[in-house]
Amino acid sequence: MSTRTTASVSTHVLDTSAGRPAAGVTVRLLARDARNDQDPQDVRDGRDAGWRPVGGSVTDADGRCRDLPDPPEGTTHVRLDFAVEAYLERSEKKQADARQDAPANRGGGAVFFPEVSVTFAVVPGEHYHVPLLLSPFGYSVYRGS
């Protein structure tokens, strides 16, 4: 049994359309907890609490964020915000350059999913590895190990 008083979170991003890790994706970690800073006696259900920024990172060459901070004690829910738009634009440009043609027009050149937010419940002492599998028109997440 773990004696940790907080959960821990890790993630990585895989570009399934290219078959490789997605480097350079900015990831923000936010936490929601039952504390009320205005009134310490008011302990609410975590679902009703606001989001607090905890920290962030950028995926490395292996698509991993190796330095996400642990959520604070009392965290009940965690959200990972993946800023994928810049990565997808770079990836599309590289693929177009390799084909020596212009990037495909996907509705005015806009990325379909400019960001991905993943929210999940946590308990103290548990580790949560949440990979993002990304492609230009879809994504998938799961609890990994």
Report how far residue 136's alpha carbon sits from residue 25's, in angstroms, rounded to the nearest whole number. 14
CB 34 within 8 A of CB 17: no
CATH of the domain at 34: 2.60.40.180
Q: What's the confidence (pLDDT) of residue 106?
A: 45
Instruction: Measure the CA–CA gap between 62 and 1, rounded to whole angstroms.
Output: 31
DSSP secondary structure of 49-68 = SPEEEEEEEE--TTSEE--P
Q: What is the β-pairing status of strands 8-15 and 64-65?
A: antiparallel
In a domain, 1, yes or no: no
Query: pTM of whole model > 0.85?
Result: no
Measured in residues, the chain has a length of 145
2, part of any domain: no
Taking only the tens place, the pLDDT of each residue in 120-137 is 999 999 999 999 999 999
Which residues span the domain enclosing 115? 8-141
pLDDT band at 8 (very low <50, low <70, confident <90, very high): very high
Express each pLDDT in 83-95 by its tens digit.
999 999 998 876 6
